[in-house]
Amino acid sequence: MATTHALYGMAAGAVTLATVPEYAPVAMLVGYVAGFLPDLDAYAEHRRTLHFPVYFSVLAVPATLLAALWPTLASVSLATALVALAAHSVMDAGGGGLSLRPWVEQPDRAVYSHYHGRWVAPRRFVAYDGAPSDLVLALAAGLPLLAVTAGSVRLLVVATLVFSGVYVLVRKRLVEIVTVAIRYTPRRLLVLVPRRFDELVDGE
Ligand SMILES: [Zn+2]
C-alpha cells in the first residue's frame, strides 16, 4: 500500500542519520513523498505511468554513489528520492497485482516494466495491498523510524501507521466504501476519483 512505500522511502532517507544528520529531516521527508509518489498514477494508468522498476533502479545507483562521495542537500535528496521511487516500483512486483479485489481475481499484472515493454507478474509475497502482512511490512519500517525521529516527523510516522491500520481493516470493503462515496459525490467532482475506480464510477 502507498503508506508502506512512504515509510520505506522515509527509511531510505533515515540512512543519512548515520552519515550527514544535518540533512536527515529533509532527506526523510523527500523519501516519504517519493515513496508514495508513483501511486499518483492511480489517476492515469495505475502502476505504469509513474512506475519504472528498472529505470529508477539504474538511476539510483550513480545517484547514491554521488551522494556518498559528495554529500550535499541536493545530492542526498536526489539519491533518496530515486532509491524510494525504485524501491516502490520494485516492491509492487511482490504484491498481489493490479485489481480492486486481488484476493478474488488473482490478477496477472503487478507493475509495468518500461524497459522490458511488458507487465511484471505479481509474486504475492504480500497477498494484496492492504493485507495484514502489508501492515507487518509497514511496522517493520515504521517502528524503527519512531525510535530515530522526533517532533513533527515522528507525528507523521504515527499518523501513517494509524492510517495503514485503518486501511488494512477496511481493505476488503474498499469497493463498497468507494461505491457509496461515489454515489454521494457531486457529478462535477467525480474527476477527483482515481481512474483505478473507473469501473465503479461507470457502474453508477
Ligand atoms: Zn505502486
Distance 148 CA to ligand 1 centre (A): 26
Q: Where are the domains of the chain?
A: 2-172
Distance 72 CA to ligand 1 centre (A): 29
What is 121-138 written as a DSSP string? PP--SSSSTT-HHHHHHH
Look up residue 117 and give its amino acid. Answer: G
Instruction: Reply yes or no on whether the pLDDT at 134 is more than 70.
Output: yes
Distance 128 CA to ligand 1 centre (A): 12
- In the chain, what percentage of residues exceed pLDDT 90? 87
Distance 182 CA to ligand 1 centre (A): 23
In angstroms, the CA 85 to CA 60 distance is 9
Q: How does pLDDT run across 11-52, given as a tens digit for each residue? A: 999 999 999 999 999 999 999 999 999 999 999 999 999 999
* Contact partners, residue 105, CB within 8 Å, separation at least 6: 97, 99
Q: How does pLDDT run across 78-87, given as a tens digit for each residue? A: 999 999 999 9
Rounded to an integer, the average pLDDT of 56-68 is 98
pLDDT band at 204 (very low <50, low <70, confident <90, very high): very low
Question: For the chain, what is the mean pLDDT?
Answer: 95
